[in-house]
Amino acid sequence: MAVIILSGHAAKSQIYLHDFGTTTISAHPYNVAPGTIDANLTGSTWTNSTSAWTSFAGSGGQAISLNNSGGTPTITLNLSIAPGFQASVTNFNFWRQRSNTGAQNWSMTINGIAAGSGIVPTTGAAIGTTTVGSPVNNQTGSLVIVISLSGATGTGTFRLDDFRINGTVVPAPTISATTLTDFGPICINAVSGANTFAITGTALTTANITVGPLPGFTFSPTNSVFTNTVSLAQPGGAYSQTIYVRFSPLLVQSYNGNTPVGGGGAPTINVATTGIGVNTRPSIDNGSVNSITTSSANVNATINMTLA
């Protein structure tokens, strides 16, 4: 029985290998654990479009096999990617063999992306390490690998063994932010003082982080120059930055929006940003004057300000 090796790493290396062991295969789906699987991949499930597996000799031990590869059957491997991680595939390899009337050609996709194609010989052999035909990068949720067969001249067999995937499974870039305090009422054509929120990134690429735009608000990383949009250069990996925000309403209305923050390969997040634009004119109600001296007097008055 194959030994399960769990591996988690950032370098491009083997993230999956199934040699299908030495036990006769009959159950469909085929859920026997692979010999090697990345620590952040789970749920190795093999199915096919005929809904039945058979077992023939492979490169060493058993091969997962179709007893009838006529028509255009498909073989599918489903792998689940752990939440917060992303998988990239750089190359792959597998052993294959057909009978005289079995499927002569194969093609493979990964999450619908064309990965490669080739022939199926009657003498079993590995295809050799094959670079994916199109980039398979930063996949989340699952890897669905489909091998499509064609070219059979009858109802001959197809065998698959030593299926190997090389690539990476790494933490996905993320950005989070603290809460921004509500600005409350600010007169139109005026500028508020600055409120702040902090952004934190993990596993980022080196792409810039962008903050904004949002009508009525300006942003600064230094509390000096404020602009509609801020672009922040950062080194990748872990990153944190305080963002200063000013509110400058032009209209009498509520400004209830979301400031977009994105970049570094991470999905864009929204920071709730709120304030009220008002237009007010203070009025003074005169009161009594008392305590009059040659140098002073007390005036009792009320200043009224109505927010509109």
CATH classification at residue 147:
2.60.120.260
| Residue 201 to residue 237: CA distance in whole angstroms | 7
Whether residues 99 and 196 fall in one domain: no
Q: Do 62 and 46 touch, CB atoms closer than 8 A?
A: no
- Please classify residue 76 by burial: count the beta carbons closer than 10 Å to its beta carbon, then call 0-12 exposed, 13-18 middle and 19+ buried: middle
Run of H or E residues at 62: strand 62-66
Distances (CA, A) of 97 to 2, 29, 84, 129, 165: 22, 21, 38, 17, 19
SS3 of residue 291 by DSSP: coil
On whether residue 290 sits in a domain, the answer given is no
42 within a domain of the structure (yes/no): yes
Q: Are 33 and 162 found together in one domain?
A: yes
Query: Rounded to whole angstroms, how far apart are CA atoms 38 and 287?
Result: 81
DSSP class per residue in 152-170: -SSS--EEEEEEEEEEEEE
Integer Cα distance of 10 and 15 in angstroms = 11
pLDDT tens, N- to C-terminus, the chain (308 residues): 333 333 333 456 999 999 999 999 999 999 999 999 999 999 999 999 999 999 999 999 999 999 999 999 999 999 999 999 999 999 999 999 999 999 999 999 999 999 999 999 999 999 999 999 999 999 999 999 999 999 999 999 999 999 999 999 999 999 999 999 999 999 999 999 999 999 999 999 999 999 999 999 999 999 999 999 999 999 999 999 999 999 999 999 999 999 999 999 999 999 999 999 999 766 666 566 666 666 665 656 555 554 44
Question: Does residue 286 lie in a domain region?
Answer: no
End position of a domain, from candidates 170, 201, 235 = 170
Domain residues for 89? Answer: 5-170
Do both 39 and 136 map to the same domain? yes
Quick one: which H or E segment has residue 218?
A: strand 217-220
Question: Does residue 190 share a domain with residue 156?
Answer: no
Angle at 172 (CA atoms; ends 167, 177), nearest 5 degrees: 170
Among 143, 170, 197, give the residue marking a domain's end: 170
State both tokens at 185.
């009422």
102 and 241 inside one domain: no
Q: Does residue 301 form part of some domain? A: no
Q: Which helix (H) or strand (E) holds 95?
A: strand 85-98
Q: How many domains, the chain?
A: 2
Q: Write down the pTM of the prediction.
A: 0.77
Does 101 fall in a domain? yes
Residues 12 and 160 in one domain: yes
Q: Would 307 be classed as within a structural domain?
A: no
| C-alpha span between 196 and 162 (Å, rounded) | 55
Residues 89 and 103 in one domain: yes
Domain-terminating residue out of 112, 145, 170: 170
Q: Which amino acid, one-letter code, is at 306?
A: T
132 inside domain: yes
97 shares its domain with 194:
no
76 and 47 in a single domain? The answer is yes
| The pLDDT of residue 302 | 58
What's the pLDDT at 306?
A: 47
Q: Provide the pLDDT for residue 257.
A: 97
Cα angle, residue 288 at apex, residues 286 and 290 outer, rounded to 5°: 135
Q: Are residues 189 and 106 in the same domain?
A: no
The predicted pLDDT at position 280 comes to 78
The CATH number that applies at residue 206 is 2.60.40.10
Measuring CA to CA, which residue among 238, 86, 237 is closest to residue 171? 86
Task: Determine, yes or no, domain membership for 68.
Answer: yes
Are both 14 and 144 inside the same structural domain? yes
Do 162 and 71 belong together in one domain?
Answer: yes
